[in-house]
Amino acid sequence: MMRAASAALTPLADALALLLRCAKPVAPRSVPLVRAAGHIAATSLAVPHDIPAGLTALRDGFAVEAAQISGASPYAPVMLPRAPAWVEAGERLPPGTDAILAAEGLEHRSAVAEAGPGEGIRAAGEDFSEGDALLTAGERIEPRHLLGLAAAGFIEVAIREARIRLVVTGAPDVLSPTLSAVIARAGGLAETVAVPDDPERIARAIAADGADAVFVLGGTGFGRSDRSAEGLAQAGRVVAHGLALRPGETAGIGEAGECPVLLLPGRPDAALAAVLALGRPLIAALTGAVKAAPRTGPISRKITSVVGLAEIVFVRSDGADIAPLGGADLALRRLIEADGFVLVPPEREGYPVGSVVEVVPL
């Protein structure tokens, strides 16, 4: 599919709105806690009851009533009316007790050390109170969430995971491992399918069942061997081809049936920029993911940009500063240093050195 070099480029904001038109949240499914980390929560979860439900031992020892052994010492032992119960860490204390006496603090039935009220124990509701939030719908599930969920008695959690078919055209393929990882971090599951630069083969891969969205990698330019847009046109509809995004001008969007399709340039910097600017928001729409708050920091070098184009500038954290690495035509040795990016809006010419910018983590 050929296009005149002077053809208008679709603004990034317009392209994103068009891409998200047919993006509907995928159905939730439940997974065991051990498989939940890294996924997007489909529902909010709260603590069903106080944890612990009652006084609980923090360490092994004898459960005692603190008032009974007040002032006890080896020189002034206190005889207990009955032998105290031994409890292990994590066990509930017997009624009428409120402290843990260490093993060496008891000789026969005499306390030779004292323990203050509450010593060695955890009070009811001290870990969690009934109704405490554990997880919010749309939140990325982190290992820290699993501790609270397990303590509250949950054995599984509902997630939304978008199935992304990554159609790789031509050869060689050095990008699919990175793009699959970016997709996974966003809450998707990538299935890679390799096809030649043939529009019919590309169309079949796009139209195949089983995907919530399709990303086509490579063949998005306007040369003789670039056939991805033609393949999309056969499978469905090309909505826009050529975006006001730098790097990534040859990216495109479309749909096949009700499935959104994103055409990614084959050049690494451009492919990554298009996935970050368009693919990640698409996956968020499919999974219901809540956008993470970007961090801010001053840039150590100025950023220059072309007015009229939204530009992705890859950056590296440098202590408190942000070091711009570049955008279009960035060498791989520099690109792999990036841990975030700055999106320069089309109305700006860039940012002077020292400007505080928002950085979106990769």
- pLDDT, tens digit, 9 for 90 and up, residues 18-64: 999 989 999 999 999 999 999 999 999 999 999 999 999 999 999 99
CATH number at residue 65: 2.170.190.11
Gap between the Cα atoms of 109 and 80, Å rounded: 6
Number of domains in the chain: 4
Residues 106 and 193 in one domain: no
Half-sphere exposure of residue 244: CA atoms within 13 angstroms, side-chain side: 21
For residue 211, the tally of other CB atoms under 10 A from its CB is 24
- pLDDT, tens digit, 9 for 90 and up, residues 315-352: 999 888 999 999 988 999 999 999 999 999 999 999 99
Query: Quick one: three-class SS letters along 213-262?
Result: EEEEECCCCCCCCCCHHHHHHHHCEEEEECEEEECCCCCEEEEECCEEEE
Residues 189 and 240 in one domain: yes
Asked if residue 320 belongs to a domain, the reply is yes
Give pLDDT, residue 272.
Answer: 96
Residues 60 and 141 in one domain: no
- DSSP per-residue codes, 127-172: SB-TT-EEE-TTPBP-HHHHHHHHHTT--EEEEE-EEEEEEEESS-
- Quote the strand ranges of 33-77, DSSP E: 40-41, 45-46, 56-57, 61-64
Residues 184 and 260 in one domain: yes
Asked if residue 64 belongs to a domain, the reply is yes
Q: 306: burial class by Cβ within 10 Å (0-12, 13-18, 19+)?
A: middle
Picking from 239, 257, 287, the residue at the C-terminal end of a domain is: 287
CA distances from 245 to 39, 265, 308, 342 (A): 29, 12, 9, 13
Q: 202: burial class by Cβ within 10 Å (0-12, 13-18, 19+)?
A: buried
Asked if residue 188 belongs to a domain, the reply is yes
Task: Write out the two tokens for 358.
Answer: 């928002």
Cβ atoms of 269 and 313 within 8 Å: the answer is: no
Residues 37 and 19 in one domain: no
pLDDT at 144 over 60: yes
Mean predicted confidence (pLDDT) in 86-111: 96
Task: Write out the two tokens for 184.
Answer: 């996974």
Asked if residue 3 belongs to a domain, the reply is no
Nearest-CA neighbor of 83 among 119, 108, 65? 108
CATH number at residue 267: 3.40.980.10
Mean predicted confidence (pLDDT) in 103-126: 95
Gap between the Cα atoms of 180 and 251, Å rounded: 18
Asked if residue 101 belongs to a domain, the reply is yes
CATH number at residue 342: 2.40.340.10
pLDDT at 194 over 90: yes
Picking from 75, 100, 122, the residue at the C-terminal end of a domain is: 122
CATH number at residue 140: 3.90.105.10
Gap between the Cα atoms of 338 and 358, Å rounded: 15
Residues 90 and 131 in one domain: no
80: domain range? 56-122
- The residues near 224 (Cβ < 8 Å, ≥ 6 apart) are none
Residues 98 and 165 in one domain: no
- pLDDT, tens digit, 9 for 90 and up, residues 235-274: 999 999 999 999 999 999 999 999 999 999 999 999 999 9
DSSP state of 49: S
Residues 357 and 299 in one domain: yes
Residues 169 and 20 in one domain: yes
Residues 20 and 167 in one domain: yes
Picking from 249, 269, 287, the residue at the C-terminal end of a domain is: 287
What are the backbone dihedrals phi and psi of residue 10, each rounded to the nearest 5 degrees, phi first? -75, 130
Cβ atoms of 249 and 258 within 8 Å: the answer is: no
Asked if residue 5 belongs to a domain, the reply is no
Residues 140 and 177 in one domain: no
pLDDT at 6 over 80: no
Asked if residue 324 belongs to a domain, the reply is yes
Asked if residue 312 belongs to a domain, the reply is yes
Residues 80 and 228 in one domain: no
